[in-house]
Amino acid sequence: MTLRSTRERQTSTRDSGWQRGRPGPRWTSLSLSIACVLLVCLASLTAKAQTASSTAPAVLPTPTLDYATVDRATVRVFAVEGVDAVPLPTSRGGTRLLAQPRSGHGSGVIVSRDGLVVTARHVVQDAAVLAVWVPGHPRPFEARLVWEDTAWDLAVLAIDGTFQEFVPIGPIGRTLRIREPVSAIGYPLDVTRIDPQSAQGIVAGVLPDGHLQLDIGVNPGNSGGPLVDRDEHVVGIVVARGRIERGVQSIGVAVPADPIAALLATLTTDSPYVVAARSLLASSSHGQEIAELVQILVGVSGVELYRDVRLALRDGNPSEVIERLRAFADVVASPESMALLAAYFWDAGGLVLERNDGALRPEQLPSGPERALATDLLRRAVALCHEAQRRDPSLSARSPFVAWVVRHVREPAPASPTRQAADPERPR
């Protein structure tokens, strides 16, 4: 249940010089996946011959840093919309399908003990799956959208728990000064980092619509994170940055704290929007499952996918990621989780085939570990797509990859020692 603001005023952050969009890099990066698939044929001959170095790298001491409450309350927000299907030329001149999750990440801040999180709306816009990583917790939390506002580009999420580290956002209570030092806290760029990072700048001005203009270097992933003054009071939420490709550098945009405080004053624990979100969290049977899956897959790009496949083929044993995801596939229950797992297995299986001169089917490979691995990965992907579609027929509308597989690839028969897996590349 979501409350949308009725304000229709336009904001200058919609200008071509500002960038909202998806705030962080996709954790299954299309560019990296394509690069890996295109280069893997050239790399495979040398990769198979590579062995681990006998010289262990030097272990350097990790510096100890002191994090304030606002740092420990700053969270990473993950959003997954669905899985796209991207045609990709093979080295043999054919076409292979790449499964590309539409996903991204941003930042947020916990503002109440019972787990209300303020972030930027574009971070969570159109998401089918939301998860929040809280510093110091072993697992991410499922999140539900409570409120969103298109004019300010703000959203409020609810996560289930009681949190000691939170930062209430109230009216600033004073006038911000031009050139006043401020810091943006968040999780830019690297999706595997579990500690928040800071960037410092100044208040540069105020835009005609009331947003703060900042002279600060923020990056994809910073969207939704808190803006704090030198006393570590939250004075805003970062929502945009300048478009570097248009020549805009070191310019950020933030929502000031006062309108955020006014919003939060209406979202009390017993407000209908919060009650509805918490009810959905309490009744969700798959939420934690999805959040844990996001945690596993969050760092997987084309480079990591190639590494997993190479490790699995080097000594015949699956990599840690492949092993964990195989185990996860045996118990997964939600259609969204099945689609994400299928995307990983499909791309990994396709990578094994591409290593072998762009083969289209496992049957084109000689008997051995590569054929066995490709058969297992692709068979799992196809079975998961069919099962996900059965459980949620609407899934194909937001996951074109699932729709394509269900339409064109036969569902494999149950695994049997005497039966060969169905051909994962041959249409029905």
Q: Which residue has the tokens 């006062």?
A: 258
CA distance 41 to 38: 7
Q: How far apart are CA 265 and CA 159, in angstroms?
A: 18
Which pLDDT score is estimated for 215?
93
* Angle CA 223–226–228, to nearest 5: 135
State how far the Cα of 315 lies from the Cα of 104, in Å rounded to an integer. Answer: 34
- SS3 at position 373: helix
Longest dimension (CA), the chain: 76
Q: Please, which residues have CB within 8 angstroms of residue 153's CB and are 6 or more apart in sequence?
A: 11, 13, 20, 120, 121, 122, 239, 240, 255
pLDDT on residue 298: 63
In which residue ranges of the chain is pLDDT below 70?
1-59, 62, 241-249, 295, 298-299, 301-303, 315-316, 415-428
Residue type, 3: L
143 strand-pairing partners:
159
At 302 the pLDDT is 66
416 CB-contact burial (10 Å; exposed 0-12 / middle 13-18 / buried 19+): exposed
Torsion of CA 334, 336, 341, 343, to 10 degrees: 150
CA dihedral over 136, 141, 145, 151, signed as positive or negative: positive
Structure tokens at 320: 């840690």
Which pLDDT value is given to residue 61?
A: 73
For residues 334 and 340, what is the distance between their CA atoms, to the nearest angstrom? 10
Closest of 201, 151, 152, 148 to residue 179, by C-alpha: 201
Q: Which two tokens stand for residue 68?
A: 């304030």
Place of tokens 């262990």: 56
pLDDT given for residue 112 in this prediction = 94
What pLDDT, on the 0 to 100 scale, is given for residue 110?
97
Each residue of 275-328: pLDDT tens digit? 888 888 887 777 777 787 876 776 676 667 877 888 888 766 777 888 888 888
pTM of the model: 0.78
